[in-house]
Chains A and B, each alone.
Chain A
Amino acid sequence: MDFDMGESVVELRAGLRQLVREHIPPDFLGAFTDNPADLEIAQRFCQILAQRGLLCMAWPERWGGRGASVWEQTAVREEMWAHHEPRGAQYMGVNWVGPIIMRHGTPDQQRQHLPAIANGEVIWCQGFSEPDAGSDLASLRTAAVRDGDGWRISGQKIWTSYAPIAQWCFLLARTSSAGRKQQGLTVFLVPMDNPAIEVRPIASMIGPQHLNEMFLNDLRVTEADVLGTVDDGWSLVQEVLAYERVGIARYARCERLLQWAPDALGEEWDRLPEELRSRWARMQVHCRRARLLAYRVVATQEAGRVQPGDAAAYRIAVTRLDQESAEVLSEMAEAAPATTAEGRRFRAAVDDHWRYSRSATIASGSIEMQRILLARTLLAAS
């Protein structure tokens, strides 16, 4: 056994923390707040990462990356999420939009999109969910109809994060009704400044930019906007899910906030109910458990034999951790002094964590879908 990630990862972490200290204000709670300055901070930070070759480390050298190891990628995920994801919405372009365009894009699409993502200049959104197609994504009805040498797309998307600020959309639409519902879907790469796209933000408890409606009113696209093969979009969606298997490193933020609590509370820490400190200790064990379950997936990824059940088990553990730790931290935050800057920052960070964690068991594949996946693996013929 060896749970040491190695010197290169230690150095990478130290470097990332230094950059965060230098460029991200201590009260930063993510790019998507009511203060537009936060988005600017994130955009600037992405460019700083890009200049240092840290934004797309995992990419092949040909596309501006440096073929980072899966453990280096893991460290980046952990450090960024722990510090309220100062890359803002860019992680999506970096983590899977870019890699999928590398695999399935035409040379023109690659030239157009990959440098922009690698330089941290562009924000993508994902046009998947619809009012009647959530977990059952293949039931989506947004239709792309042939029109001369292109297509006309009409329909409605929902929950589309970052849609108001995105320049591009990775859009999934139905191009055929023949066959199974998973067939006849196609991915289009669509510019968001087209007037046929109307975005309406949805006010929510998890903050601005996260939830939006997107209406496609006879949007005209060309053959050059199709990614991959027409009617074969479902296989691309499966690839997206594969890239997102480990997903965001939720455990890292939980852990950082839990570790911060004693300092943030100062003398009040000793006056906490003993049972609350005991729950705090238990949450740290659950953080470690989630982290190690993530590492199990990463290790199999490294060996090229990922089991979908392993990824599902991790996601069940980490999303529950997110919510349970938020409850423990919220109780602790009540005791944090409102008279000190650190106490106030801790309170704000915990409140943000609590609000966002409500969606943990729903976003990027609900916990029920993860259980179905895990059950399938467990009950498969051995």
Chain B
Amino acid sequence: MRTELGESALEYGQVVRKALEAVGGDELAQAAAAGAARRAVISAALADLGTWELDPRSGADELEAAAAACRAAGWWAIPYPVAERLARPAGLDVDALAVVSATRPAVPAAWLDIRLGAVMLDGRRWLAAAALGGAGPVAGHGSQAGLVTELELTAADEDGAGDAPLSLVLAAWTLLGMLDRAMTLTREYVLWREQFGRTLASFQSVQFQLTDAEVERAGAEELAKYALWSVQEQRPDALADALALRLATLEAADVVFRVAHQLHGAIGFCDEITLSWLSRHSQPLRRLPFGLSASRDQLTRQIGREGLTELFSGVGQR
């Protein structure tokens, strides 16, 4: 049993996080719709670290490094499709790959200047291009405006059965990085902010909200490692494991961001506060390719009567 990422992957994640801080850190999320120059800076910073040379399909070391890089990208909520680029498939002439739903194919990125492929859970693969509306690319709505690109798909092949689990798992590692950051920001805030002559952290009602959010975050982290291992081992259940991870991560995101906003109070909505940006940037990852209920439906269908493969699969009755 080895339930942690390897030392080198952990170190790589730290290096990526520092490199992204050096090229802007929190400003990166605030400049989501910034021009190609900023995107080039992000891409170049990661290229310098060899991120784009990682092949997560080649074995445990590079897969773990890819997961750590996605988590670091999530920490800063960088407006760049790191997970999608790392999930680029074999046998399809594209630079990046995203899981999409048939009902609303879209990708959590504000622009497309890379060749994007798309895969559905059944393994069908597509070439993707930005859908054009009346005034140019359709770029999300509401709080996702400027963070999403709706897609038009052209059928490519049906060879992507192994692609969806990897894509879902790397996307979950990105969201996990956002949850890490939201918890860290909230912890720092409640230790600093005083009301009634005491820090917020000294109120038990505040402590208990924080612990409930941490249980969700920690649980999602453990499932993220498990699903990564499942992909690494190419287990037949890798898709179910990835969907289980997606479900747990979305549930965790709901609790963590709700608690983070509640404990920050009104300041948490302000653009000068990182949480405000982090919260908005989490939206596309939580809604695409499908939200909480649809993820649960997909999982329920996927596991059927058999259930997840666990300790007591097939031996419940004796």
Q: A255-B312, A371-B211 are in contact. Are A293 and B299 (CB under 8 A)?
A: no
Residues of B within 8 A of A263 (CB): 316-317
**What interface size band does chain A fall in?**
35 or more
Residues of A within 8 A of B299 (CB): 281-282, 285
Query: How near does chain A come to B309, taking the closest CB pair, in angstroms?
Result: 10
Assess the B317–A260 pair: CB atoms within 8 A. Answer: yes
A295 to B312, CA, bound (A): 17
Assess the B208–A2 pair: CB atoms within 8 A. Answer: no
Interface size on B, residues (CB 8 A): 50
A289 to B217, CA, bound (A): 11
Q: Which of A260, A264, A281, A295 has the most B CB atoms < 10 Å from its CB?
A: A281
A284 to B311, CA, bound (A): 11
Q: Which of B222, B228, B305 has the most A CB atoms < 10 Å from its CB?
A: B222
Pick the contact of A264: B215, B244, B317 (CB < 8 A): B317
Q: A284-B303, A296-B3 are in contact. Are A289 and B308 (CB under 8 A)?
A: no
Assess the B318–A292 pair: CB atoms within 8 A. Answer: no
Assess the B247–A282 pair: CB atoms within 8 A. Answer: yes
The binding surface of chain B is classed by DSSP as helix
Q: B313 — nearest CB in chain A belongs to which residue?
A: A259
Residues of B within 8 A of A5 (CB): 1
Assess the B310–A259 pair: CB atoms within 8 A. Answer: yes
Pick the contact of B232: A1, A285, A296, A342 (CB < 8 A): A1
User: Which of A165-173, A205-213, A352-360, A374-382 lies on the face that meets chain B?
Assistant: A374-382
Assess the B228–A1 pair: CB atoms within 8 A. Answer: yes
Q: A26-B318, A296-B3, A342-B317 are in contact. Are A3 and B226 (CB under 8 A)?
A: yes
Q: B225 — nearest CB in chain A belongs to which residue?
A: A1
Q: Which of A23-37 contact B (CB under 8 A)?
A: 26
Q: B114 at the A/B interface (Cβ < 8 Å)?
A: no
Q: A41 at the A/B interface (Cβ < 8 Å)?
A: no
Residues of B within 8 A of A293 (CB): 218-219, 222
Assess the A259–B222 pair: CB atoms within 8 A. Answer: no
Q: Which of A284, A290, A310 has the most B CB atoms < 10 Å from its CB?
A: A284
Query: How near does chain B come to A11, taking the closest CB pair, in angstroms?
Result: 15
Assess the B315–A1 pair: CB atoms within 8 A. Answer: no
Q: A65 at the A/B interface (Cβ < 8 Å)?
A: no
Residues of A within 8 A of B315 (CB): 17, 256, 259
Assess the A317–B219 pair: CB atoms within 8 A. Answer: yes
Interface string of B285-318 (1 = CB under 8 A from A): 0000000000011011001011110111111111
Q: A258 at the A/B interface (Cβ < 8 Å)?
A: yes
Assess the A289–B207 pair: CB atoms within 8 A. Answer: no
A4 to B208, CA, bound (A): 34
A208 to B219, CA, bound (A): 35
Q: A6 at the A/B interface (Cβ < 8 Å)?
A: yes
Residues of A within 8 A of B219 (CB): 289-290, 292-293, 313, 317
Across the A-B interface, the 3 shortest Cβ-Cβ residue pairs: A260-B316, A292-B222, A375-B207
Pairs across A and B, CB under 8 Å, 18 listed: A1-B60, A3-B3, A3-B229, A5-B1, A258-B316, A259-B313, A263-B316, A263-B317, A286-B248, A287-B310, A290-B219, A293-B219, A293-B222, A296-B218, A296-B222, A313-B218, A375-B204, A375-B211
